Amino acid sequence: MMTSPEERLSLLAEYCRERGVPMTAQRRAVFEKVLTHKDHPTAERIYEEVQTVLPQTSRATVYRALDTLVEANLVKRIAHPEARTRFDPVTEPHNHLICETCGRVEDLENSESLPDPDLFKIPGWETKQVSILVCGLCPSCRPGSEPA
């Protein structure tokens, strides 16, 4: 189960306290924006949204705040060759669908179909997690489909 946004914000506050870094309004705003998304936003998208609440925030600050959230394990960075780097507030292992045309990334529902890491024993590697990435064309990008 995913913890509530309030609980997650308190986890961020705790992380900042432990590291001795300030829990700035910018960090908080970046995290809040990521949490509102189910569609795996890019850093640029988060930057634009943070601008609506804290217009003074620089792009570099947003990118750094995202790095902090990833280090704190509160947000996952998804980097797939087909898409720009995106951020995911769901940190539990789950599968993704990705559109090769528009780069849209969605969660594949019914993620109990996660592959068993024991089936992927690779010499020299410690396998921690295996997930499925389904690449293809989303409903709006399929030829002949009406634009959504």
β-pairing, 105-107 vs 96-99, is antiparallel
Q: Which of 11, 51, 97, 107 binds Zn ion (CB under 5 A)?
A: 107
Query: Which of 16/78 has CB closer to Zn ion?
Result: 78
61-94 burial by CB neighbour count: b if 16+ within 10 A, else e?
bbbebbebbeebebbbebeeeebeebbbbebeeb
Of the candidates 146, 142, 131, the one whose C-alpha atom is nearest the C-alpha of residue 104 is 142
Nearest distance from C-beta of residue 92 to Zn ion, angstroms: 9
Q: Which helix (H) or strand (E) holds 134?
A: strand 133-136
Does position 106 bind Zn ion by CB under 5 A?
Answer: no
Query: Which of 80/104 has CB closer to Zn ion?
Result: 104
With CB under 5 A, what is the number of residues at the site for Zn ion? 9
User: Distance between CA atoms of 74 and 71, rounded to whole angstroms?
Assistant: 8
Query: Which of 17/38 has CB closer to Zn ion?
Result: 38
Does position 70 bind Zn ion by CB under 5 A?
Answer: no
Does position 34 bind Zn ion by CB under 5 A?
Answer: no
Binding mask 76-105 for Zn ion (x = CB under 5 A): ------------x-x--------x-xx-x-
Residue 135 — left, alpha, or beta (φ > 0 → left; ψ -120 to 50 → alpha)? beta
- Interface residues with Zn ion (CB under 5 A) are 88, 90, 99, 101-102, 104, 107, 138, 141
